[in-house]
């Protein structure tokens, strides 16, 4: 089962963080927060979450490349690393609007 898990974990974490940040965005825009030193707090929270999501993926990718945790067989190693990269790219790209767009509009 760990072989299957290695393949699924990174995209699963992307899916979780993507949904969580979408939900968080909805929550933040429902309940206005005070600005911190002129910088809107919603935006700061979302950007922090974006950073965490990317960091998680980088850690996962590192784990999948680490000889101690990597899959033993060639194909499964390839597929699990490819899905690790998928998770990272998907996190950077799909959550990019956090930094590019006004938060609650």
Partner 1 sequence: MNALERHRKLTEIWASDKGFKGWFSTVNHNDLGRMFLVTAFFFFIVGGLLAMLIRVQLATPHSAFAGPEIYNQIFTMHGTVMMFLFAIPTFEGLAIYLLPKMLGTRDLAFPRLTAYGFWCYAFGGSMLIVAMLFGIAPDGGWFMYPPLTSAIHSPGINADFWLIGITFVEISAIAAAVEITVSVLKYRAPSMSLAKMPIFAWYALITALMILTGFPPLILGSVLLELERAFGLPFFQVDLGGDSLLWQHLFWLFGHPEVYIIFLPAAGVISTVLPVMCRTTLLGYGWIVSAAVALAFLSFGLWVHHMFTTGIPHMGLAFFSAASTLVAVPTGVQIFAWIGTMWKGRPELHLPMLHILGFFFTFVIGGLTGVMVAVVPFDWQAHDTAFITAHLHYVLFGGFVFPIFAGVYYWLPHFTGRKRFFCLGELAFALVFVGFHVTFLAMHWVGLLGQRRRIPTYAPEDGWTAINLISSVGSFILAIGIAMILVDVVLHIVTAHRGRRNPWNATTLEWAMITPAPAYTFASLPRITWRDPLSAEPDLAVSLARGEGYLGTPRHNWRETLAVDIASGKPEMHVLYPANTRLPILMSAVTGLFFLSLLMKFYWTVPLAMGGVAFLAWKWVWGLGLRQDQAVQSVGHGLSLPNAATVARSPGWWGTAFLLTANATFFGALLFGFAFLWTIAPGWPPPAWFTPSIFELGVGISGAALAPLAIRHATRVNESGGTPFPTVILALCGIVALGFACASLMWRAPTPNEHAYGATMLVLGGYGTFHTAISGLMGGFLTAQIRSGYTSANRRAAFPIVGLWVKYTSATGVIILLAAHLPGLIP
Interacting residues with partner 1 (CB under 8 A)? 1, 3-4, 7-8, 11-12, 14-15, 18-19, 21-23, 25-27, 29-30, 73-76, 78-79, 82-83, 86, 89-90, 93-98, 100-105
Smallest gap from Cβ 70 to partner 1, in A, equals: 13
Residue 82 and residue 86: Cα distance in Å, rounded? Answer: 6
Smallest gap from Cβ 14 to partner 1, in A, equals: 7
Judged by beta carbon, residue 47 or residue 63, the one nearer partner 1 is 47
Judged by beta carbon, residue 54 or residue 94, the one nearer partner 1 is 94
Gyration radius from the chain CA atoms: 16
Residue 3 and residue 80: Cα distance in Å, rounded? Answer: 8
Smallest gap from Cβ 20 to partner 1, in A, equals: 11
Q: At 36, is the secondary structure helix, strand, or coil?
A: strand
Q: Which of 16, 19, 17, 7 is nearest to 86 (CA)?
A: 7
């Amino acid at each position: 089962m760990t072989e299957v898990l290695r393949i699924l974990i990174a995209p699963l974490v992307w899916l979780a963080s993507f949904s969580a940040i979408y939900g968080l965005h909805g929550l933040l825009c429902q309940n206005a927060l005070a600005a911190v030193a002129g910088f809107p707090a919603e935006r700061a929270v979302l950007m922090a979450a974006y950073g965490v999501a990317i960091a998680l993926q980088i850690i996962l990718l590192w784990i999948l490349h680490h000889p101690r945790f990597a899959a033993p067989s060639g194909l499964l190693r390839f597929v699990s690393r490819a899905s690790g990269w998928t998770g990272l790219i998907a996190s950077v790209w799909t959550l990019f609007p956090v930094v590019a767009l006004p938060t609650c509009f």
